């Protein structure tokens, strides 16, 4: 009986953890965002022409709810073959609604590479992060 109770409690605990993980804040790279905040053609690799190309950074707050800020920043780091990160640039987004549960930013890249993008709110708290690869067309 004790073994069965422990098994059931473990199962319930795992389901609880999975429900929290699946609704965490996310950063998705995509070719567009629809009017319901869903990514259009999401990818972790984009091909740009030699003059540069753009795609979108889509942030969804998940179970965190509303952003609670009027601005966010995207910190972009170059990642080398040994997975060392070097700061590249910060892109600011000042037109965020405090009650938004998702938002996006159109970003143009001019160089190929492997990048790690971190999203921070107006208080400097990290919201989400993700990796993206940029290649020439």
The tens digit of pLDDT for each residue in 115-124 reads 999 999 999 9
Q: What is the pLDDT of residue 5?
A: 43
List, for residues 99-114, the tens digit of each pLDDT value: 999 999 999 999 999 9
Burial class (CB in 10 A: 0-12, 13-18, 19+), 74: buried
Are 78 and 126 spatial neighbours (Cβ–Cβ below 8 Å)? Answer: no
CA within 13 Å, CB half, 53 = 15
Using CA atoms, how far apart are residues 58 and 43, in angstroms rounded to an integer? 11
Which CATH class for the 25-136 domain? mainly beta
Beta strand 45-48 with 126-136 is parallel
Token digits of residue 69: 């800020």
Please provide the average confidence, as pLDDT, over all residues in the chain: 89
Question: What is the separation of C-alpha 71 from the centre of its chain, rounded to a whole number of angstroms?
Answer: 15
- C-beta atoms surrounding 18 within 10 Å: 10
The pLDDT averaged over each successive group of 10 residues in the chain (137 residues) is: 49 41 84 98 98 98 96 98 98 97 98 98 97 98
Are 69 and 120 spatial neighbours (Cβ–Cβ below 8 Å)? Answer: no
Tokens 């709110």 belong to which residue?
Answer: 121
Q: What single-letter DSSP state applies at residue 124? A: S
- C-beta atoms surrounding 22 within 10 Å: 10
Burial class (CB in 10 A: 0-12, 13-18, 19+), 62: middle
């Amino acid at each position: 009986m004790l073994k069965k109770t422990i098994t059931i409690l473990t199962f319930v605990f795992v389901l609880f953890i999975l429900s929290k993980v699946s609704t965490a804040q996310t950063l998705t790279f995509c070719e567009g965002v629809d009017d319901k905040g869903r990514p259009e053609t999401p990818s972790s690799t984009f091909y740009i022409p030699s003059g540069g190309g753009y795609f979108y950074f889509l942030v969804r707050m998940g179970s965190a709810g509303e952003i609670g800020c009027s601005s966010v920043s995207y910190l972009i780091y170059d990642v080398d073959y040994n997975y060392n990160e070097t700061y590249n640039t910060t892109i600011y987004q000042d037109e965020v609604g405090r009650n938004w549960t998702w938002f996006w930013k159109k970003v143009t890249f001019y160089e190929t590479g492997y990048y790690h993008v971190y999203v921070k709110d107006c208080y400097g708290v990290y919201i989400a992060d993700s990796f993206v690869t940029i290649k020439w067309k």
